[in-house]
Amino acid sequence: MADSKKITSAIISVYHKDGLAPIVKKLDELGVVLYSTGGTEKYINDLGIPVIPVENITEYPSILGGRVKTLHPKVFGGILNRQENESDVAEMEQFNIPQLDLVIVDLYPFDKTVASGADEQEIIEQIDIGGISLIRAAAKNFKDTLCISSMEDYEEVLKIISEGNGSTTLEQRKNFAAKSFNVSSHYDTAIFNYFNSDHDIVSLKISETRGKLLRYGENPHQKGFFFGDFDSMFDKLHGKELSYNNLLDVDAAVNLMNEFKDDAPTFAILKHNNACGISQRDTIYQAYADALAGDPVSAFGGVLISNTEIDESTSEEIHKLFCEVVIAPSYTAKSLEILKGKKNRILLIQKLYEFPKTTTRSCLNGALVQDRDTLTDSEENLTQATNNNPSSGELDDLLFASKICKHTKSNTIVLAKNKQLFASGTGQTSRVEALRQAIEKSRSFGFDLNGAVMASDAFFPFPDCVEIADKAGITAIIQPGGSIKDELSVHYCNENNVSMVFTGVRHFKH
């Protein structure tokens, strides 16, 4: 084949040695001359395989504590020379530069060092200079050079050189070049984001090397992908592959339940990113039953999530419902046996996980980035707006409803009682309409709104909402406050014995 290249020499400089031995042995078997540095050179020597120190090419030792080893014209000339270019061939001979057909590099683990909480000096020393330069050079010259830039590719390259008797095709080399630039760009992005952690430089760089093709996007005619490390958040125990819409609902579910992670048993059912049922009880069985009672119609095909272990009795009830996904920190053995009775039902164990500090979404021809909304309304942050205080039970319900409100699409109104979601008005253009929707839905499922509470994601510019709520039986209200006409709503509440508290924090969700 015209584009086939035989590997005659290789330079190997890797951080991780796992999986390297079979490749080194195969290269030696094929008669390939090996060059290496430092720990990798010692590793190859210990395998009993001949290896030439890079210092023999450069005629310079490793200097500055190992910071400079391969950065030399004789190394990079051997990688970057164009083998069909007469001038390059002549200069290679003139300066006695050895040909390097294969470069194998595995970079210092910068990401892992940052994640470990290491001090700055240790992190800085994990910024690979020589390795990243070798990768870029070899990938650029893919017409003549094969570049292997990750230990994840060792198995594939071993197969290629074994089947090709040491030869590679242009297509193969170009494919590995693309992989190499993926590695180098990801590496540089991680370094930049470390130095720009405070976002003093207004620049957005996102890099995710783990990706998966989904069955389709939001709709069947759209192609969809997920980029991220799903396995760091969940163990998938059973069921079909998660869809684009499944993933959005799972995201909404875990963000909502994060508000209740240290609370009494809490169960939520979500549909189209909004909670259609959520309840907190003494047992997870009762929490599920009362969450389902909030809207048994919308629960069909929903995503279910628990903040505690799901037991056998709860699973027996869940099994009666068609649902797409069930999420919990753990399951009893019998519970799993029951839930696996539906072959497509997705069962996830949620691991301990620290959410990203920012959120990103596409907008126009760019992206919007903001701090994650990590504020949770609590009793100590409330301001009593009315003459009468909410009872302790009402206060618990207000904070419960406020947590749900924070994770429901705006404009929203949430109605709750005894730590059970009665209904929410979601995604309405009018707050009054959101309230009316919630009242009508509550009544349609037989809930008694007398003594219930109301949460709003934003302030009331007029007293119409508090008046409608009062006449429906609502006795306590939680809202951000901040309207120039707050007094109109406060006055109505005082006149009609409705308690109201201000949080001082708006929780829009668009």
Give catalytic residue positions: 140, 272
Do 237 and 347 meet the contact criterion of CB atoms below 8 Å apart?
A: yes
**Which two structure tokens, joined as six digits, stand for 264?**
């009494």
Do 88 and 67 meet the contact criterion of CB atoms below 8 Å apart?
A: no
DSSP symbols for 480-509: ----TTHHHHHHHHHHTT-EEEE-S-----
3-state secondary structure of 24: helix
Do 482 and 506 meet the contact criterion of CB atoms below 8 Å apart?
A: yes
Phi/psi-derived region of residue 474, left when phi > 0, alpha when psi is between -120 and 50, beta in every other case: beta
Residue tagged 């390097």 (tokens): 100
Residue 35 CA to residue 15 CA, distance in Å, equals 15
Do 12 and 130 meet the contact criterion of CB atoms below 8 Å apart?
A: no
Residue 135 CA to residue 178 CA, distance in Å, equals 11
DSSP symbols for 26-93: HHHHTT-EEEE-HHHHHHHHHTT---EETHHHHS---BTTTTBSS-SHHHHHHHH--TT-HHHHHHHH
* Strand-strand pairing, 366-371 and 358-363: antiparallel
3-state secondary structure of 349: strand
Which amino acid, 166?
A: G
Residue in 262, 306, 40 with CA at minimum distance from that of residue 151: 40
Residue 162 CA to residue 32 CA, distance in Å, equals 13
Residue 211 CA to residue 215 CA, distance in Å, equals 13
Burial category of 242 from C-beta neighbours within 10 Å (exposed 0-12, middle 13-18, buried 19 and up): buried
3-state secondary structure of 192: helix
